[in-house]
Structure formats: structure tokens, C-alpha cells
């Protein structure tokens, strides 16, 4: 008989001390009911990165995306206020804004031409004379929460959610000294991976455990023994002193500084910094077995003269990513094996993974039955 969602959730002990803890059990990574519960209890209730501030700097600038299955548009109003809405026309539900990003004076639905102001208010409906009891003021685009931090724009589908800064907690003070808002966006790489989104996060949060085995190039510039792991609030900071090395020329040339900084913020955002360099990794669940990871690369100097160097740096990141992808897809296959249930954690290395699993368990156990009443 198939285990119930509650049985699957209760099979993880989130109170165990690290030395006695296990990972979340395999069904959490493969069961579509858990994926749906995450959509409702995690991705519809946490602050999610949807854009860069430089994309919505001027009145009329917009970005569209999807979050937890919902079409979203973020737009800066004529009054300079940044707003976000469900990108769903109040007439017959078409997407009002269809480009990924751009600039507009007015938001006009391509289906029957309804027009919305940059503040979401309904401005015009062609051929709607004679319609009775229609309250135009109540038919604007439906708003969602939007806030910014550093050079990032976040939205939250939960109107009751605590403010972004409260959600980020101690991460705000830890990232501030690195001055990432002074960096400039350079390029994006997107990866479709045949694994659950949590497999990718786990791989990131193993405290460098896999680095000497899987990433020989990266390992050559890190002082692996000094690799530090700090948990606080909803973030884990992994950092490591760096060593100059020409063992791997491209890595040595593009990964510099005193220290490498790897931040993870629950549930699905990573921010990686070296000197004059940042990349963000944003993990989007697709279904229980698939996720998409978006890498955005930033540099202190994005002038034409630096293009070749920056491109080489992106390629180094790309190589590390390729090394991770294969292993993540292997893990997803292993999680489905009858030979596996859950795994133990290294006390020295895997505290970040435990924090992730504990935060997730707390969110999923909050309303497990009511959220899935219709689906079960
Ligand atoms: S669906 Fe937008 S105008 Fe009809
Ligand atoms: Fe890795």
C-alpha cells in the first residue's frame, strides 16, 4: 500500500542532533505529493528572486516570470514605485505582458486589447459598452508583494508574509561587506537538470565534501582544511581561504581573493562571491524529477576590454556546473532504488544540509493535510 503524505513527512526526525541526524528520506525527493506540498507551503510563501534591480530601474520597465505555476509581472510605475502583479488578464485570463522583459507605457492584453496602467489599474476595455454591474476599479491586475535587497528583486505570493529583510535575517549583515551591488550583470546560463530541486541544493550544502573528488580545478584554489560552515536563521555561509595556484590555469586566473564566499538562503537561492565576481544560482522546481537552475554572472568591470576575461570566468563556472549536473542526476536515480532510504550526515561537513532539511520539514509539516485535501 502506498504511504500517506503524513507518513512520509513523519518519517523524518528534524529534532535529531547533527551527529545522529539523517537526511530527509528518499520519498521526499521523488513523490509528486511532496512536490505539490512544496509548491503550496514553500514556494508560494517564501520570498523568491525574480529579477535584478537594474532591469526595472525606470518607470515602465518590466520583467515577467512564473513562480509556483503563477504568471507574474514586476513593473516600475510612473510614480517610481515598484509593483508586482499576477500577469493574468481579468477579462479571460490571458497573459497581459508576453515579453520576458522590456519597457511599456501601458500594459495591454494581446487577446482583446484591455489596457492596464503601470499601477495595475484597469484603464480601458474595447467594445464593453452596455455591460451592467461591472466595477472597473475592482478589476485591476491582482497585486502581489515585491521588495528589493542589494541588486535583487524578490516577490512573495503570500500577502501575510513577514517583510523580506526579516525573512533574510542575518544574511543581510553577512553579505553587506562584500559590496555586491557595485558589481555589474554580465551573462546568464540556464541548466535543465533531471533531478529533484533538493538534490541540487543538498549538493551545494555539503560543506565542500565533494569538492576534492568532483571539482579538481576548483579544489586547487581553496584551502580545503580551513573550509568553514556557519548556520544562522535561514541561511548557511560556507567560506574558505583561497590559495594562489596555477595547477588549473583558467581557475587560478578567474577565482581570486582572500576568501571564497558561498551563501545559501532557504529555500533555493545561492550567492557565490570571489574578488570582483559574483554568481547567483536560483533553483526552480519543475516537477519531482526535474529542476531548472539559473546562473547569473556579475563582474566589477564589464567593459569591452574585459569581455574575454569575463567569458573565461563564466566558462570556469560552467565547467564546475557540468561536474555537478552528472552527479545530481545519478543521485536522483539512486534515490529511487529499493536499496536506499535515507543517508547519514558528516558532522564536519554537512550541517548546512541539516539546516535545509529542518527548515523544509517545518514548512511542510505546518499544514500538510489541509493544503493537499483536494489532491489526496
Ligand atoms: S483576455 Fe485580456 S482582453 Fe480578453
Ligand atoms: Fe559542486
Q: How far is Cα 355 from Cα 169, in angstroms, rounded to an integer? A: 15
State whether 318 and 197 are in the same domain.
yes
Report the percent of the chain where pLDDT is more than 90: 93
H/E/C letters for each residue in 234-254?
CEEEEEEEECCCCCCHHHHHH
pLDDT of residue 352: 98
- C-beta 344 within 6 A of ligand 1: no
Instruction: Tell me how far the alpha carbon of residue 114 lies from the centroid of ligand 1, in angstroms.
Output: 6
CA torsion through residues 52, 58, 59, 62, sign: negative
Q: What pLDDT band is residue 369 in, cutting at 50, 70 and 90?
A: low
Q: Tell whether 34 is covered by a domain.
A: no
What pLDDT sits at residue 246?
A: 86
Residues surrounding ion ligand 2 at CB below 5 Å: 324
pLDDT at 2 (0 to 100): 86
Domain boundary among 112, 127, 160: 160
pLDDT band, very low/low/confident/very high, at 372 (cuts 50, 70, 90): low
- pLDDT beyond 60 at 13: yes
Query: pTM above the 0.85 mark?
Result: yes
Q: Residue 370 has what pLDDT?
A: 53
Closest CA to 109 of 91, 131, 127: 91
Q: Report which protein residue has its CA nearest ligand 1's atom 3.
A: 112
pLDDT score of 303 more than 80: yes
Per-residue pLDDT averaged across 88-117, rounded?
Answer: 98
Residue of 85, 87, 97, 109 best suited for mutating to test ligand 1, as the one with most atoms within 8 Å of CB: 109
Whether the predicted pLDDT of 376 surpasses 80: no
Shared-domain flag, residues 263 and 325: yes
What average pLDDT is seen over the chain? 96
Q: How confident is the model at residue 374, as a pLDDT?
A: 44
Q: Give per-residue pLDDT as tens, 323-359.
A: 999 999 999 999 999 999 999 999 999 999 999 999 9
Q: Return d(Cα 231, Cα 250) in angstroms, integer.
A: 31
Q: Are 136 and 215 members of one domain? A: no
Residues 310-324: pLDDT tens digits?
999 999 999 999 999
Q: Are residues 191 and 298 in the same domain?
A: yes
Q: State whether 322 and 205 are in the same domain.
A: yes
Ligand 1 pocket test, pick from 91, 106, 115, 120 with the greatest ligand atom count within 8 Å of Cβ, gives 91
Ligand with minimal distance to 204 CA: 2
Q: 155: domain CATH number?
A: 2.102.10.10
Q: Which domain holds residue 85?
A: 48-160
The finding on whether 109 has its CB within 6 A of some atom of ligand 1 is: yes
Q: Is the confidence at residue 373, as pLDDT, over 80? A: no
Please tell me whether residues 148 and 218 are part of one structural domain: no
Q: In this structure, are 151 and 185 located in the same domain?
A: no
| Contact criterion met (CB below 8 Å) for 276 and 297 | no
pLDDT at residue 366, rounded to an integer: 86
Ligand 1 atom 4, closest CA: 112
CB atoms within 10 A of CB 350: 23
Same domain, 62 and 184: no
| Residue of higher predicted confidence among 246 and 106 | 106
Q: Give me ligand 1 centre to Cα 110, in Å.
A: 7
Based on the structure, what is the number of domains in the chain? 2
* Residue 375 pLDDT greater than 60, yes or no: no
Amino acid at each position: 500500500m502506498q504511504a500517506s503524505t503524513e507518513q512520509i513527512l513523519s518519517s523524518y526526525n528534524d529534532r535529531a542532533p547533527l551527529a545522529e541526524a539523517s537526511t530527509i528520506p528518499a520519498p521526499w525527493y521523488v513523490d509528486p505529493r511532496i512536490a505539490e506540498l512544496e509548491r503550496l507551503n514553500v514556494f508560494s510563501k517564501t520570498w523568491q528572486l525574480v529579477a535584478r534591480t537594474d532591469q526595472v530601474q525606470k518607470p515602465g520597465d518590466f520583467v515577467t516570470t512564473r513562480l509556483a505555476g503563477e504568471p507574474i509581472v514586476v513593473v516600475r510605475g510612473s510614480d517610481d514605485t515598484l509593483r508586482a502583479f499576477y500577469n493574468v488578464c481579468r477579462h479571460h485570463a490571458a497573459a497581459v505582458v508576453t515579453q520576458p522583459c522590456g519597457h511599456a507605457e501601458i500594459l495591454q492584453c494581446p487577446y482583446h486589447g484591455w489596457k492596464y496602467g503601470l499601477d495595475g489599474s484597469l484603464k480601458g476595455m474595447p467594445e464593453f459598452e452596455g455591460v451592467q454591474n461591472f466595477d472597473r476599479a475592482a478589476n485591476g491586475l491582482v497585486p502581489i508583494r515585491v521588495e528589493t535587497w542589494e541588486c535583487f528583486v524578490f516577490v512573495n505570493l503570500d500577502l501575510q508574509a513577514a517583510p523580506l529583510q526579516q525573512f533574510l535575517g542575518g544574511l543581510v549583515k553577512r553579505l553587506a561587506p562584500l559590496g555586491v551591488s557595485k558589481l555589474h550583470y554580465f551573462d546568464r546560463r540556464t541548466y535543465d537538470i533531471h533531478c529533484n530541486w533538493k538534490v541540487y541544493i543538498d549538493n551545494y550544502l555539503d560543506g565542500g565534501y565533494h569538492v576534492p573528488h568532483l571539482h579538481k580545478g576548483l579544489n586547487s584554489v581553496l584551502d580545503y582544511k580551513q573550509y568553514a560552515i556557519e548556520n544562522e536563521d535561514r541561511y548557511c555561509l560556507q567560506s574558505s581561504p583561497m590559495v594562489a595556484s596555477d595547477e588549473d590555469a583558467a581557475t587560478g586566473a578567474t577565482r581570486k581573493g582572500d576568501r571564497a564566499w558561498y551563501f545559501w538562503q532557504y529555500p533555493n537561492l545561492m550567492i557565490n562571491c570571489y574578488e570582483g565576481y559574483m554568481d547567483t544560482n536560483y533553483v526552480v522546481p519543475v516537477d519531482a524529477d526535474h529542476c531548472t537552475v539559473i546562473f547569473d554572472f556579475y563582474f566589477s568591470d564589464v567593459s569591452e576590454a574585459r569581455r574575454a576575461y569575463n567569458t573565461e570566468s563564466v566558462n570556469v563556472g560552467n565547467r564546475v556546473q557540468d561536474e555537478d549536473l552528472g552527479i545530481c542526476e545519478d543521485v536522483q536515480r539512486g534515490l529511487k532504488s529499493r536499496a536506499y532510504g535515507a543517508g547519514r550526515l558528516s558532522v564536519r561537513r554537512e550541517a548546512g544540509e541539516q539546516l535545509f532539511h529542518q527548515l523544509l520539514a517545518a514548512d511542510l509539516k505546518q499544514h500538510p493535510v489541509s493544503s493537499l485535501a483536494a489532491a489526496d
